[in-house]
Amino acid sequence: MTLTIVSRKQWGARAAESRIATVWSRRTEFVVHHSEGPTNQTIKSIQNFHMDVRGWNDIAYNLLVRDDGTIYEGRGWLTVGAHATGHNTSGIGVCYIGQNAPTEAAKKSIRALYDYACVQSGHALLKKGHGQLSQNSTDCPGSKLLAWVKGGMLVEAAPKPPTVPTTAPPWPSRVLIERDPEMHGDDVLAWQRQMKKRGWMIVVDGFYGDASADICEAFQREKGLLVDRKVGRATWVASFELLVT
């Protein structure tokens, strides 16, 4: 699933009064919340409540998700939130807009955010509901959403469009491995450009380092390929499959 996130500018966010940044290596948890309000709440109204009533310096959550699956930027991936006492640096706070009635579309977006965060951090994040955390006595995110989180955050597999292999560029006579600066060149550029066309957030610079290897691993898992973080023949060919529209 390609992530499309409505930016703060797009939803009309107020400027944060202050912010503290963190780094991906310090993110170890993915914390799910619900807003306990109507599903048609605006993100602006949530921010206003948090800043004007709660007295916080910005909207509490890092990201928010609506019933139709729309994702909104809150504080963003690497800004410390105000969503879970004692877990605001370690945890990425994602809020379902509503109360104890998450749709499948909302759950799919939450799961896509979790998968993306795991790739970016380089490790599997702990899946937590707000009320599971120590120092946080609350029934948030509601019984249904909490049961889903405890069950592993499983989602229905989206039907995949049919694919037909096209004539991929000739596979290099070597595999692309994590070796930088030795592992670079036109074949790396060709693969990175193709992955970008497929919707992956990849830097196209011709060097196959850790960031490219992370994308390779996620793609291999999506396609059910051998997960070795190397662009071998099978991964190369799968990368150049043409999606039939």
* Domains by residue range for the chain, with CATH: 5-150 (3.40.80.10), 163-243 (1.10.101.10)
Least confident of 36-40, 72-76, 132-136, 174-178: 174-178
Mean pLDDT within 172-178: 61
Q: And the tokens for 59?
A: 């909207």
Note whether 210 and 178 are within 8 A (CB): yes
Q: Which of 222, 71, 69, 232 is nearest to 160 (CA)?
A: 222
Classify residue 58 as exposed, middle or buried by CB count within 10 Å of its CB (0-12, 13-18, 19+): buried
d(CA 88, CA 91): 5
Q: What is the pLDDT of residue 214?
A: 87
Mean pLDDT within 25-36: 91
The beta strands (E) that lie in 50-190 are given as 63-65, 71-73, 91-96, 126-129, 163-164
- Higher local confidence (pLDDT), 197 or 103: 103
Q: Which of 165, 178, 158 is nearest to 111 (CA)?
A: 158
